Amino acid sequence: MSCLATHSKTLRARGYRITPQRLAVLQALHDGGHMSPSQVFERTRSSMPGMNEATIYRTLEFLAENDVVLSAKGENNHLAYELAHTDHHHMVCRVCGHTEVLEHNQVQEFYEQVEANTGFRPTTSHLTLTGLCAGCKKSKPKGDE
């Protein structure tokens, strides 16, 4: 089953309709990966001429609230969205905005330690770490980090 079909089925199972607008946003994210709301709007504008940016924002928020899409801060601290299909995380350089994927198995032990030490079970499948990429770290003096 395709990820679009899976996400549509998830929404229907929760009692929501799959509107043309929701489907267009899902398709844009499926085709484009990590995208800003403006990029989603540009991608959907030709197939949905009546679509406006406010609808894009509302749809993205709705899909994020229903765990169908994930939001994360990307380049220049702007929100970027992607389909929720695998547990992974992001590392974002605060200087150049470079983003790298961090697989969940690399932080699984951290999640387990949080729960063991605090009793709190993290339920998010998305974590964004902000810091310095290898290139920016090399160019920064040690005390300026």
- Give the CATH number for residue 123: 3.30.1490.190
- Tokens linked to 140: 């920064």
Predicted confidence (pLDDT) per residue in 6-48, tens digit: 888 889 999 999 999 999 999 999 887 788 999 999 999 888 8
Which of the listed residues 85, 103, 124 is the one where a domain comes to its end? 85
Residue whose structure tokens are 């969205």: 81
3-12, 52-61, 119-128, 132-141, range with the lowest pLDDT? 119-128
- What is the per-residue pLDDT for 86? 67
- Give the CATH number for residue 50: 1.10.10.10
Assess whether 13 and 77 both reside in one domain. yes
Task: Establish if 145 belongs to a structural domain.
Answer: no
- What is the per-residue pLDDT for 143? 57
Task: Establish if 58 belongs to a structural domain.
Answer: yes
- What is the per-residue pLDDT for 124? 64
- What is the per-residue pLDDT for 54? 95
Across residues 81-106, what is the average pLDDT? 81
Beta strands in the chain (DSSP E): 69-73, 79-83, 88-93, 99-103, 128-131
pLDDT over threshold 90, residue 75:
no
Q: Residue 74: which pLDDT band, with cuts at 50, 70 and 90?
A: low
Assess whether 58 and 91 both reside in one domain. no
Report which of 121, 72, 70 is spatially closest to residue 97, judged by C-alpha positions.
72
Task: Establish if 59 belongs to a structural domain.
Answer: yes
Assess whether 96 and 45 both reside in one domain. no
The answer to whether the beta carbons of residues 33 and 80 sit under 8 Å apart is no
Q: Is the pTM of this model over 0.95?
A: no
Which of the listed residues 85, 110, 128 is the one where a domain comes to its end? 85
Assess whether 57 and 111 both reside in one domain. no
The more confident residue out of 75 and 84 is 84
Count of domains in the chain?
2
* 128: helix, strand or coil: strand
* CA–CA separation, 92 and 89 (whole Å): 10
- What is the per-residue pLDDT for 43? 92
Range of the domain at 125: 86-139
Assess whether 79 and 122 both reside in one domain. no
- Tokens linked to 56: 């894009």
